[in-house]
Amino acid sequence: MSVYSSPAMPETQTPLYCLRKLGIDPGDIRHVVCSHLHFDHSGYLKYFKGAKIIVHANEFNNIRNPTYNQRDAEEWIAAGLNWAPVSGQLEIKEFLPDIEIIALGPGHSFGMIALLVRLTETGNIILAADAIYCRENVGPPIAPPGIIYDTDGYRRSLEYLLQTAKDNNAQIWYGHDMDQFNTLIQYNQGYYE
């Protein structure tokens, strides 16, 4: 059994279910930005064969590392995904109108990326994923999460994201902060503009 069909995740929380409820087919998606390749952030990638899969080059280069579930890697390879690795460390890269990729480099994993999204009504948001796991990691003092590849890289990434948020008057949305998550609009409740 693949980790993608883990019984721990109810069907109503899977990306395919949520997209289906919105009337979107995975084939309609042109880009998938994958903050890193841990299974809880890269599940269902095999269903997005027509999309460019944006991932940090360091992460992509370690796709067969035993740290990752090798069944996942085999599924990605068998699916013939269209990988689009980005390189860089602690720098912002243009991506799409009003969306920029923040290449962070090593930290929580071999290579992390985040997004800076500029919305007219909501304002600017940094989607940090596990580059900042939850609000408690920010501190002070900085408290790295339990799963970490490069502690110094994690601290540099966190500090860079905090400064980027300040410079861009942006909110930070963390990767695993349930208190924050419960305050956000869910896919079936509306959207941010």
Q: What is the pLDDT of residues 81-116, one digit of tens each?
A: 999 999 999 999 999 999 999 999 999 999 999 999
Please, which pLDDT band fits residue 147 given cuts at 50, 70 and 90?
confident
Looking at residue 26, what DSSP letter applies? G
Whether the Cβ atoms of residue 113 and residue 102 lie closer than 8 Å to each other: yes
Identify the structural domains of the chain with CATH numbers, from first to last: 1-87 (3.60.15.10), 88-185 (3.60.15.10)
Comparing C-alpha atoms, which of 106, 166, 168, 102 is closest to residue 138? 166
pTM here is: 0.91
At 18-60, the pLDDT tens digits run 999 999 999 999 999 999 998 888 889 999 999 999 999 999 9
* H or E element that contains 104: strand 99-105
**Residue pair 53/83 in contact by the 8 Å Cβ criterion:** yes
